[in-house]
Structure 1
């Protein structure tokens, strides 16, 4: 709520007094008798002029207060914005610091349901291998995943490393290697969320290697164990090739 300054209060007081005087002059017949017509007109004009001046002064004071209030509001908004920027900067700084510290300290994480301790450089090694696969450099990807599993045998990324390594071998038409890799994944991590997709690749690898009976069994197992999934749909389409 806006508080009137001392000068505004004085101006309002003057306006009130002038208005009261004008009212008294117009309301009292006996007061008019003290003045001649010219003097009365002059007094009224003077009062009106003074009242108008006072109103202008009052309006000026109000406008000034409005301007000052707007300026203060602008400063408050600027300070609030600066505070938000500082909070954002601090949050970004601490996130970056936490990330950098994570590169030098072991951290406990959960990757697709598998929990374990990630050593410094471990995630980067996994990411580099995956990037090689995504870029179509299948031999490099397979070698990188093999090096990763050898260096970090207890990593929570191991199931994913086995999965992508199997897919790398399959894409590179190394069907026997893909079969071994994917069967190892299924045996060690039977409840991992990548198992249905891994079984599809396994079935395809078996089919490509000429073992239609094994492929048919794999596809049938997918349909039975994981109905209403994309893997089951893929298996349903692929099973036709086993006849």
Structure 2
């Protein structure tokens, strides 16, 4: 006889439905829990992402600000370099201008110095023409008037030409005009030479003797005595020449004139 389920259905069915609902409820709660955790994780990730994004945005803004500041500093530095270069070029131009001015000033100073030197020389020349001058001649220092010096130089210039007649006239004229001149002693020697050139031995001896008598310490005195001996030899006065040489050797034993005089009269009888 077939088994009938109908008596158990009313009792089993509610239990099955309850079990099913329990299973379904547990699964639903589990799904709800998993959805909640997933939602929290998503929210946490979103929050972290937003925080990271905000941090990056802040860093980007800071970087942009730093870049802007750096750009401004670079621009300021460029402007400073341009200003410095402009100042440098201006300084170079000023230095070049100053160098040009200094060179011009140096030329003007040199020209002024030359003018002053020329003016001082011209003044000295004019003063020499009107003021007495200190003369050093044959170891003797004396003062001579400008016209006196010019007359002396003119007389000596005539003597150097070899025109003994004019030289005698110029020298004797000077000695008469400037008696007591500091040139006199030296001119006595040169007058004796001019007379000797004329072969006027008598007047030559007188002039040489006048020098030795007036200025025995004159540096040309030994030469004057030697010249006297030469004049005497020209006049064939050997004895007189020997006597003059003896006088020369005695007065000026170490002079070159004394040695030359000894040789001149060595063979004279």
Rounded to whole Å, the distance in 2 between the matches of 1:158 and 1:30 is 116
2:126 paired with 1:97: yes
Aligned residue runs from structure 1 range 1-243, under 5 A: 33-35=63-65, 43=72, 46-47=75-76, 49-102=78-131, 107=132, 112=137, 113=140, 115=142, 118=145, 121-242=147-268
Q: 2:5 corresponds to which residue?
A: none
How many residues of Structure 1 are paired with residues of Structure 2 in the alignment? 209
Please tell me whether the aligned partners of residues 129 and 147 of structure 2 are also in contact (alpha carbons under 8 angstroms). no
Q: 1:63 to 1:204 in 2, by over 3 A?
A: same
**Tell me, which stretches of 5 or more residues in structure 1 are unaligned?**
1-28
Q: Secondary structure at the match of 2:182?
A: coil
Larger Rg: 2
Q: Deviations over 1:173-227 (max 9, x none)?
A: 2212211221122112222222122222122112221122332233344344435
Rounded to whole Å, the distance in 1 between the matches of 2:249 and 2:60 is 113
**Tell me, which stretches of 5 or more residues in structure 2 are unaligned?**
1-58
Q: CA RMSD in A?
A: 3.3
Rounded to whole Å, the distance in 1 between the matches of 2:76 and 2:268 is 111
Rounded to whole Å, the distance in 1 between the matches of 2:61 and 2:108 is 60
Q: 1:224 to 1:165 in 2, by over 3 A?
A: same
Q: TM-score, normalised by structure 2?
A: 0.64
Q: Deviations over 1:53-93 (max 9, x none)?
A: 23421321331232133134224423431342232123112
